Amino acid sequence: MLRSMFQEQLDEVAGRIQVLGTAVLKQLDAAIDGLSTKNRAAVQQIIDNDADINKSELDINEKVFDIIARQQPVATDLRRLIVVMKMAGDLERVADFAVDIAKVSRRIDDFPNEELKQELIELALDAKGMIEKALHAYATKNVLTAQQLAKADDEIDERFGKLIKKLFRQETTDQDVEAITQLAFIARYIERIADYATNLSEWILYEANGQYVDLN
């Protein structure tokens, strides 16, 4: 009975990662939409929602600490709890980048050109897709999917580098320079989101085999 109750506690706290992940994905969706449509109200809502994301991470950590203190888990169970805490921290950081994107997007009056806008939005959507895949891999314990995200991260890195070169090589006015600088910040935040998707994958692999593998 005690083992059964302990297993329920493990499953419950692990399930909170999916709840937090869903909230983070909504923040990313809203940030991308705000970048595309310049919806000021939506941007402010992203900023306001961040406190709830932060609280969710803290609640997960407190639950993990409580389980460790009460149950004193070892080996696989302890590793699973550590992964929950690490993934919660990484997801909270992704949510912070969504806020950063929202804040910077408010400073951009207009894109220098439509092509750059579309490239940036596509990069953001693909980075968000990596977070979705990492969460799915965690829920299904799919190690192969987790490993494949490293390749996706390399592709995001390459596209990020090309986008930055495009941004700073085009002819600009003084007004464009400010917009381009802000867009470069957003591109960097997106690239970091992809990095954190890879971090999530590393924790999935660690839970599966007990060894930390650096995928970045």
What are the tokens at 140?
A: 């299904």
What is the DSSP track for 53-78? HHHHHHHHHHHHHHHHHHH---HHHH
Instruction: Return the sign of the alpha-carbon dihedral for residues 21, 23, 27, 29.
Output: positive
pLDDT (tens digit, 9 = 90+) per residue, 62-97? 999 999 998 888 889 999 999 999 999 999 999 999
Q: C-alpha angle with apex 135: 141 to 207, nearest 5 degrees? A: 40
pLDDT (tens digit, 9 = 90+) per residue, 105-155? 888 877 777 888 899 999 999 999 999 999 999 999 999 999 999 999 999
pLDDT (tens digit, 9 = 90+) per residue, 189-207? 999 999 999 999 999 999 9
